[in-house]
Each structure stands twice: as C-alpha cells, then as structure tokens.
Structure 1
Amino acid sequence: MGNLGYKAIDVDNHYYEPLDAFTRHLDKKFRRRGVQIFSDGRHTQAVIGDRVNRFVPNPTFDPIIVPGCLDLLFRGEIPDGVDPASLMKVERLEQHPEYQNRDARITVMDTQGIETVFMLPTFACGVEEALKHDVEATMASIHAFNLWLDEDWGFDRPDHRIIAAPIVSLADPAKALDELEFVLARGAKLVLVRPAPVPGVLKPRSLGDPLHDPVWAALAEAGVPVGFHLSDSGYLQIAGMWGGKSTFEAFGGSNPLDQILVDDRAIHDTMASMIAHGVFTRHPQLKAVSIENGSYFVHRLVKRLKKAANNHPNLFPVDPVDQLRTNVWIAPYYEDDLPELASVIGVDKILFGSDWPHGEGLENPVSFTEELVGFSAADIRKVMRDNALDLLGVKVGSAA
C-alpha cells in the first residue's frame, strides 16, 4: 500500500479461466460449434468453431507467466545484449490459487493495498472473433461463459471487492438485450463489449448502428458502464494484407510491421464509431471505459474528430471532442505519457489499471503511482481510487 494512505481501485485485473469456463453451462446443441477443449495427455488445445485456436496457446495456463516479468520489454528498456526471450519467466499454476479463486484473490488484494478490482477475462478475449461466422454459437457461448463467471467470481457482491465483468456480444441485437438484462438482474456493475466491428449474419455493423440502441439505452438507464478491453478484434487481417499473420497467436513471434499497422487501431475505431455514429448523442448518460488499450489513440482521435466536425458540422449536433471528454474514461498503459493524457481529457477521466497478474503488467500494482510524476496528491488519489468509484457510481469500504 506504500504511502498512499488509502486503498486503491484497480480497474484492470485478470483471472485465468478453467478449462470448463465455456462448456460447464453450454447448451448441448452447441457442443460442436462452441469452445471445445482437447488433450492427448501431453498437450491441451482449444478448438473454437471447428478450428484450433491459438489465442491462448496453452488453455490450461500451467505453467503460467510471472506477473510483471515483461516490464522492461513493454517499456522499451531492454539492456543491450539481453535477449528479450530471456525475460519470460513462468511458474506452476497450483502455486497461485488467487488466479482462479475469489477468496484467495481477496487475500492477495489485501496485501497489495487494493480495495476493489475490475476482474476481466484472459482466454475469453479471443472467443468472439473465433466464432464471428456463427452468430448463434456466439450468443450461446457467451451466455454459458457468463453463467460460469457469476458462479465462480460473482458479478458483484455487497462488499464490492471484485467487480467481475460479464461479456455481451452485439452480434444478435435481440439476444444481446436479453443477455444484458440477464446480467444486470444478477448485479453486474460493468459490462464488456468487444472493441471491434459487430459480427452480423450478412455483414459487420458499426457499434453505432441504431440496432444496438436498446443495449446502450439499458446501460445508460442502469448507470452501468460499457467496458472495451483489449481483445482479438480481427484487426490482424490488416497485417495479413501486408504479408503478416492474419490471426492472433500469443507468444507466436511477431512482425514489427504488424504492430505498427494494428497497435491501438481497434480501440481508436471503436471510440470513433461510438461518437461519429451518434451513440453518445442519443444516449448522453452512457458511460464507456477503455481498459488496456493504451492512451495514445486519444490524441489521434481528437485530431480526427475535430476535422470531421469542421467538415460536416451538420452531422455533429454535439461537439464530438466534448463527448469523448464527458462520456469516456481511459485506463492507460503505465508506460504512457500520463501528464499529456491528462492535458487532453482531464485527470478526472484517467483510471489506474495494473493488468495484474499478466506478464506485461505491473508486478506490484500500486507502483503505478511512480508513473504519476507531476500529479498533485489530490489528482493521484483521483487516478488511483476516486475516478473509478465515480465511474461505477458506488461507495466501497473506508477511505483509509
């Protein structure tokens, strides 16, 4: 907890799904069309939509990467002569029940000085892309996953220690509203929607398509934010056009051009679609939060929104940049230029997220404060705690 004097709210924590997260409650008629797990006794792999899926190469998560071990890699500070591969450290999953058990996780949170976490998926971030050509199987699989999530972690409980975020796919608009109403009835305080074009039977759709307005309206009325967390958004198809890989594979090697071409493009386009296609104009109370997508997209988006509004003022009855600053919260990468982000969207819209226990996150979550150089004590508290509570509209624990 260091010298904060209060407990932090970490909006970017993760669990590692058990092998039955998508199958425990899956309708039997979708058994061959959803997520299947196969093992030959030595290797375990996921098959999704009748194809081997490498989004998570080892779905057992055993062994698992050590939290924060890739810190130097993501800061771009690897010492000369050090092989980046040597930074990768792993350990046995059985040593860390907190990665899959709610009570064990809370015990660890207490040692970290963390009051509340937004608990987010790992494996599940790749499933909707893998099933995008089968809308029925997508909706059934997401529902099964949400049943598992509420059973093992709980969307929310009275102490608000863990806010486990269910997923809603917009692929079938009517069933999306049904799923949203289901998770809200069970107490969901945050709902995840994939930052990507919405899969459809005939063609993809914008997030701003009026077909999705019932979902946005329900979220706005409930005061529940929509979260856009880094996922497989299908954008590697762009890299494929340039000779790179067209499908995501964790730790499967990288082409630097792929990173340059894709990087934070999905979240940029997601927020652009929400604003340019009028979601926040039609639903001004809707709150959105970008988690683990970095923040540099914000600068490019602001520039482009200003230009679009200047060129087509009749299409923007509300200033689009003001909507970004009013309706959107950002959980940046810890290595981002945080003072610059604050100058663009205001410190009230910046959230602390550690990405714990992922290897690219922080080993010690509250060390995020070390990146807040130049921020006042009051503003550090906003980033580390108060802004997240404002986003959720809840009060938790005690300040100290």
Structure 2
Amino acid sequence: MTNVTPLDYRAIDVDNHYYETIDSCTRHLPKEFKRRGVQMLTEGKRTFAVMGGVVNHFIPNPTFDPIIEPGCLDLLFRGEIPEGVDPASLMKVDRLPEHPEYQNRDARVNVLDKQNLETVFMLPTFACGVEEALKHDIDATMATVHAFNLWLDEDWGFDRPDHRILSAPIISLADPQKAIEEVEFVLGRGAKIVCVRPAPVPGLVKPRSLGDPVHDPVWARLAEAGVPVVFHLSDSGYLAIAALWGGKATFEGFGKKDPLEQVLLDDRAIHDSMASMIVHQVFTRHPNLKVASIENGSYFVYRLIKRLKKSANNAPYHYKEDPVEQLRNNVWIAPYYEDDVKLLAETIGVDKILFGSDWPHGEGLADPMAFTADIPQFPEFSAEDTRKVMRDNALTLLGVNVAASA
C-alpha cells in the first residue's frame, strides 16, 4: 500500500456507522408489537436479541460491549495475513464506555474533526438484520422500522444544521402503502438519504422485485425530493442459498463459517438488487432516481454489465433504454478499499465512485484517510480525480452544487 495522500480539503465518507443503543428498536415500539418485534433479554451476563420470538444472532452481542477495534481486520480483508498467523489473532477489542463516539453524536463530531471529515453518511449496524428476521410478519416489520427511525432521528438526527452527520433512515418496502407513509415521514424530518435493504421484498403471498411497479410511489417521491437511496450490506436472506448446499440458513455475525458460504453468496445480493432495479425498469420510469451501493464492494459491477448486455441483446423489445448506461447514469459505487479502483473508474467512470471507510467496524479502515492510499496515483488519477472520489461525487449524489460548496 502506498502512502496516504494529504488532502487540503475535508472528505465526505459515505460509509460510517454507529453502534445502536440497546433500545434502538424498542424505545418507540408500540406495546402491541413487543413480542412480535425486537426484544432484548438478559440471562446472567449475556444479552440476547429476540426478533419475532426467536433468538437472533446477526449481532451476537447487541450491547456492543466489548466491541472490536476499528480496522483491526485490515490484513484479513486485504489477503495479506503473514504466513503462520492465525486470522483470529488479528481481532482486538475495545470497551464501549471508552468510546462515546460510537453512540453519541456530539462525541462523533469531535472525532470527525480529527479525521479530516466534513460529512459522513451514518448507517445502521444492528438494524441491518431486523427486516430479514421479521419478514414473515409485515406489520411487525413496518412498526419496528418506524420505531427505529424515531430513535435514529432522536439520538443522531437525519440531518442537523451543521450537516456533519447524515443519518439514513430505513425504508422497508414490505407494505407498499406504509412504505410511502414512512418516506413522507422521514422527508418531513429532513432526511437527505434513505437506506433500503438489497434483497427481494417480502410479501404476504410471495416476494417481490424491487422493480415491481407497486413500489413506484416510493421511487417517484424520492426522485422528486432528490434524496438518494443507499443499498447497504445487510442480512438479505441469501443464506437460504447456502442452505441448499448443506449450510446454515441463518446469519451469525461471528464464529467459524463454511468457506463455501462466501464463494456462493459474496456480493450476490447487491448484484441481484441492482439487476432488479434496472431490468424491471425503475430508472426508465424514474430517470432522476439516484442510488448508491455501499459496503458491497465493486466486483459485482463487471458481472452485472456482462449479463445486462446479454439480456439486452436477447430481449431488445424489453428495454426502452440501454441498461448498462442506466447503471452508469443512476448508480454510484463505494468500492471496498482493497478493490481495483482504476478498473472501476474505467468501467463506470470516476464520477460514480464514492469513498467509504466503514469506520468504526473492524473490517473497515482504522484511519478513514488511509483510503487515499488505495486510489491510483498520478498520472492514472489526477488530484481532481482523487477529490471527486473523496468528496465531490458524494455532493453530486446529494444534489449539492460542487462549485458552490468548494
């Protein structure tokens, strides 16, 4: 890895996380959903998350105390573990009370100043597993998501006057009518981004595509408001595929896993989600809708382009516009830091690449600015290209005039 590039401007990190307080899904949950939604049960020194009456292991330690250090798994994800070193030995832990910035907005803003970050997109950790766990109870799903969004606005704010932290409320499409009501609610509270799970949409009879026209009111409203949709890595239910091959059907955050799971699943959920948006004509019907793939890597892009080209060739009557161009026009990508950023720029254009550190997760970067070391150096990338990735492209995604904000 080359040296970190000093920046004479503050960056915008589109992949930051909080660690939810233990009441994030329960503080505002109506009493009638207490047993159907999320519960926190303590047994001795252990606290368990129970969702829909079932113990859930998406986050095995929902108190987040202790929690692993930011960036401690860097070598693992770069594939650079020294020979003979046990990957488990890389994991180091922090005590939550020593890091108020993980759960407190004011403390986090102070950290942003030290990290040379102007603005961050703040995304869920624990809540990324809620929709899959509750997918068989749509009313409980919608009630829990709304309760979570109330907590999020209360503790972090969707957007406050300083614009330092843009927190992404969750929008579940499981109930189309309640989904548009939730969109109106979060827009009314000032949300500048929303988070949608990259997964098939649960339904009362059968799952639906993200591109099903029943969801058009949501996409139309977000396009009208200029509020982009963030598709962030979540429990998308894809372990059902691993189960077909003898693996586990439910997600577990830690512990030894069958390596076949990663080979089978990897970035399949985001690939399929973007395919459903494009092939089922969401961007044709809503050309101003902007979406971003965050913490899903970038290698799915190449497979998706190949398959979109083939589909358009085989079924030209279906496509009113070039599906590959819709990917390039409507979709922004935040690559993993270990990805080939140069190849991504050559494929979709440098204007569609976003910087995300995944801070403070263990698989992210300990220092967000270390991302600049993974951006190609001049002459492959100019200083202007680096600025686009580290700042300006995020502003364009948000609909902010780059020149006016310089």
Question: Normalization by structure 1: what TM-score?
Answer: 0.98
Structure 1 residues 231 and 2: CA distance shift in structure 2, 3 A: same
Residue by residue over 1:135-184, the C-alpha shift from the partner in whole angstroms, topping out at 9 and shown as x without a partner, is 00000000000000000000001221000000000000000000000000
Q: Does 1:82 align with 2:88?
A: no
Rounded Cα–Cα distance in structure 2 between residues aligned with 1:396 and 1:251: 41
Rounded Cα–Cα distance in structure 2 between residues aligned with 1:210 and 1:367: 42
Aligned match for 1:376, one of 379, 382, 392:
382
Q: CA deviation at 1:118?
A: 0.1
Residue by residue over 1:198-225, the C-alpha shift from the partner in whole angstroms, topping out at 9 and shown as x without a partner, is 0001100000001000000000000000
Rounded Cα–Cα distance in structure 2 between residues aligned with 1:115 and 1:343: 28
Structure 1 residues 60 and 220: CA distance shift in structure 2, 3 A: same
Rounded Cα–Cα distance in structure 1 between residues aligned with 2:401 and 2:75: 36
Residue 295 of structure 1 is matched in structure 2 by 298
CA root-mean-square deviation: 1.3
Rounded Cα–Cα distance in structure 1 between residues aligned with 2:402 and 2:92: 35
Tell me the amino acid that sits aligned with residue 282 of structure 1: R
Structure 1 residues 399 and 189: CA distance shift in structure 2, 3 A: closer
Residue 390 of structure 1 is matched in structure 2 by 396
Rounded Cα–Cα distance in structure 2 between residues aligned with 1:59 and 1:53: 10
Residue by residue over 1:249-280, the C-alpha shift from the partner in whole angstroms, topping out at 9 and shown as x without a partner, is 01121111110000000000000000000000
Q: Does 1:355 align with 2:393?
A: no
Residue 51 of structure 2 is matched in structure 1 by 48
Residue 15 of structure 1 is matched in structure 2 by 18
Aligned match for 2:141, one of 128, 138, 141:
138
Residue by residue over 1:64-101, the C-alpha shift from the partner in whole angstroms, topping out at 9 and shown as x without a partner, is 11000000000111100000000000010001000000
Residue 203 of structure 2 is matched in structure 1 by 200
Rounded Cα–Cα distance in structure 1 between residues aligned with 2:64 and 2:300: 31
Aligned match for 2:175, one of 167, 172, 176:
172
Secondary structure of the corresponding residue to residue 59 of structure 2: coil
After TM superposition, the structure 1 stretch with the greater mean CA deviation from structure 2, 112-121 or 251-260, is: 251-260
Residue 346 of structure 1 is matched in structure 2 by 349
Rounded Cα–Cα distance in structure 1 between residues aligned with 2:74 and 2:265: 21
Rounded Cα–Cα distance in structure 2 between residues aligned with 1:218 and 1:265: 28
Residue 67 of structure 2 is matched in structure 1 by 64
Aligned match for 1:312, one of 300, 312, 315:
315
Rounded Cα–Cα distance in structure 2 between residues aligned with 1:396 and 1:335: 27
After TM superposition, the structure 1 stretch with the greater mean CA deviation from structure 2, 1-10 or 131-140, is: 1-10
Rounded Cα–Cα distance in structure 1 between residues aligned with 2:5 and 2:212: 46
Residue 7 of structure 2 is matched in structure 1 by 4
Contact kept? 2:5, 2:373, Cα under 8 Å: no
Q: CA deviation at 1:394?
A: 2.9
Contact kept? 1:159, 1:397, Cα under 8 Å: no
Q: Does 1:114 align with 2:89?
A: no
Residue by residue over 1:31-56, the C-alpha shift from the partner in whole angstroms, topping out at 9 and shown as x without a partner, is 01000000023100000011000000
- List gaps (5 residues or longer) in structure 1: none
Contact kept? 2:278, 2:327, Cα under 8 Å: yes
After TM superposition, the structure 1 stretch with the greater mean CA deviation from structure 2, 295-304 or 241-250, is: 241-250
Tell me the amino acid that sits aligned with residue 180 of structure 1: V
Rounded Cα–Cα distance in structure 1 between residues aligned with 2:155 and 2:390: 27
Residue 211 of structure 1 is matched in structure 2 by 214
Q: CA deviation at 1:344?
A: 0.6
Q: CA deviation at 1:3?
A: 1.9
Contact kept? 1:160, 1:396, Cα under 8 Å: no
Tell me the amino acid that sits aligned with residue 174 of structure 1: Q
Q: CA deviation at 1:398?
A: 9.3
Rounded Cα–Cα distance in structure 2 between residues aligned with 1:193 and 1:3: 34
Identity of aligned residues (%): 74
Secondary structure of the corresponding residue to residue 315 of structure 1: coil
Q: Does 1:241 align with 2:244?
A: yes
Tell me the amino acid that sits aligned with residue 369 of structure 1: T
Rounded Cα–Cα distance in structure 1 between residues aligned with 2:255 and 2:236: 17
Question: Normalization by structure 2: what TM-score?
Answer: 0.97
Tell me the amino acid that sits aligned with residue 375 of structure 1: F
Contact kept? 2:392, 2:402, Cα under 8 Å: no
Residue 31 of structure 1 is matched in structure 2 by 34
Secondary structure of the corresponding residue to residue 230 of structure 2: strand
Contact kept? 1:6, 1:399, Cα under 8 Å: no
Secondary structure of the corresponding residue to residue 116 of structure 1: strand
Rounded Cα–Cα distance in structure 1 between residues aligned with 2:402 and 2:282: 30
Aligned pairs, number = 400
Contact kept? 1:12, 1:353, Cα under 8 Å: yes
Rounded Cα–Cα distance in structure 2 between residues aligned with 1:395 and 1:160: 15
Q: CA deviation at 1:294?
A: 0.3
Structure 1 residues 397 and 18: CA distance shift in structure 2, 3 A: farther
Contact kept? 2:396, 2:402, Cα under 8 Å: no
Q: CA deviation at 1:246?
A: 1.1
Rounded Cα–Cα distance in structure 2 between residues aligned with 1:283 and 1:267: 20
